[in-house]
Amino acid sequence: MGSLSGITVVTFEHAIAAPFCTRQLADLGARVIKIERPGTGDFARNYDERVSGLASHFVWTNRSKESLTLDVKQPDAVDIVHQLLAQADVLVQNLAPGAMQRMGFDYASLHERYPRLIVCDISGYGLDGPYRDKKAYDLLIQSESGFLSITGSEDEPAKAGCSIADIAAGMYGYTNILSALIERQQTGRGRHIDLSMLESMVEWMSYPLYYAINDQPPPRRTGASHATIFPYGPFVAGDSKTVMLGLQNEREWKSFCDVVIRLPEIAGDDRFNANSKRVANQDQLREIIHEVFSTLRADEVVVRLEEAGIANAQVNDMQAVWNHGQLRARGRWTEVDTPAGRVPALYPPGLTARDEPVMAAVPALGEHTEAVLRGLGYDETRIAGLRERGVV
């Protein structure tokens, strides 16, 4: 059933931020009705064809939803939306700024008619302010939020390899909606959530922001290494394989010197006996570490790190993650249906197979149009008429 069983979500969504938000709600049992444009649908359906002809982004963010096609420029479609909203608990949207207002589906237009409805607007910069109408995509928000300024190498900034700004906004949308549902139990009233990708990412930038407070220099771009702790990052062993490791305190530093590099005299060296000194003199320390690691295989380095209690990790590629032993041992994989057949899917973090999260199919475009309309009382003749006029 899921903890959100009985909750209905209507969504005007595309790309990633809003679909990722509503998929979390669907995982918990909410009924999510995704309204898509007839013929084309969510443009993320066509990003690529990597999942047996389906788009990787779409498969990831749209399981367990119902796809309803509507041309909302037509009055009959607008009427259908209002019928859905009369029964809905939540409306989520991430269309272009002003689009919902022009259709009469913004919070100000809906609140009096549907006082219990929770409306979550996800946008690049928020619904007001000088940047309101500025186009916003994930990479652009990574840039605007300062993320790119601290990510990459010293010579060149780099974006995150996943849609981190969309994911941040989607998760804050999800948690704000859950909070609003709890609040509504107490007040009986819905509420408006005005969520921006920029604010979501700036919240995640708080450590670098505070590090650079009062015009102090910001963290340097250091590739896969930590900007303010050393040694913390990738180190190459003698077999050319990379080991990722990280120290957190002086006790670990001493253990690293004693057990891993086996140079106990280095621990008290005045160049390295505090983290700030190790960061300042990291080129010299890196040379010492590499000299030791060059005589060892990566697996031998890992054995020493484990013995010393030093955190370490493998630098996995995507295929290694698909086959990760820890995920397999914990039973984290299941399968979901798609229009192209069954595909693997990760259980939602925090939930297990015993919790029976909703892991239903990724919908084909318009797959549930007839079923949704029948649920609203439309018969075959009326549905056929809507199809003829291009409403659905």
- What would the pLDDT profile of 281-299 be if each residue is shown by its tens digit? 999 999 999 999 999 999 9
Q: Which structure tokens are listed for 336?
A: 């979901």
Q: HSE (CB half, 13 Å, CA atoms) of 356?
A: 6
Measure the CA–CA gap between 1 and 6, rounded to whole angstroms: 9
Q: Which has the closest alpha carbon to 88: 190, 13, 171?
A: 190
Identify the CATH assignment for 8-205+328-388 out of 1.10.287.130, 3.40.50.10540, 3.30.420.10, 3.40.50.450.
Answer: 3.40.50.10540
One-letter amino acid for residue 210 of the chain: Y
- Pairing mode, if any, of strands 31-36 and 65-69? parallel
Q: pLDDT above 70 covers what percent of the chain?
A: 100
* Residue 319 pLDDT greater than 80, yes or no: yes
The predicted-structure confidence for 65-104, as pLDDT tens digits, reads as follows 999 999 999 999 999 999 999 999 999 999 998 999 999 9
Contact 20, 165 (CB under 8 A): no
Question: How far are the Cα atoms of 73, 156, 169 from residue 133, in angstroms, in the given order?
Answer: 21, 29, 18
Please state the rounded mean pLDDT for residues 179-196.
97
232-315 adopts what CATH topology?
Answer: formyl-coa transferase, domain 3 (3.30.1540)
Give the residue with greater pLDDT, 97 vs 189: 189
pLDDT at 54: 97
pLDDT at 2: 87
Confidence category of residue 252, pLDDT binned at 50, 70, 90:
very high
Contact 166, 191 (CB under 8 A): no
Q: Which structure tokens are listed for 247?
A: 């120290």
Please state the rounded mean pLDDT for residues 198-203.
97
Q: pLDDT above 90 covers what percent of the chain?
A: 95
Tokens 């390899």 -> residue? 161
Task: Note if the bond before 231 is cis, omega within 30 degrees.
Answer: yes
Question: In sequence order, which ranges of 42-150 are alpha helices (DSSP H)?
Answer: 56-61, 75-87, 99-103, 107-110, 138-144
Describe the chain by its helix, strand, coil percentages, rounded to 5. 40, 15, 40
Q: Which residues are catalytic?
A: 226
One-letter amino acid for residue 30 of the chain: A
Give the residue with greater pLDDT, 104 vs 220: 104
Mean pLDDT in the chain? 96
Q: Where are the domains of the chain?
A: 8-205+328-388, 232-315
* Residue 132 pLDDT greater than 90, yes or no: yes
* Residue 1 pLDDT greater than 80, yes or no: no
The predicted-structure confidence for 258-280, as pLDDT tens digits, reads as follows 999 999 999 999 999 999 999 99
Helices 17-27 and 164-187 pack at an angle, to 10 degrees, of: 50
CB within 8 A of 298, min separation 6: which ones? 237, 239, 241, 242, 243
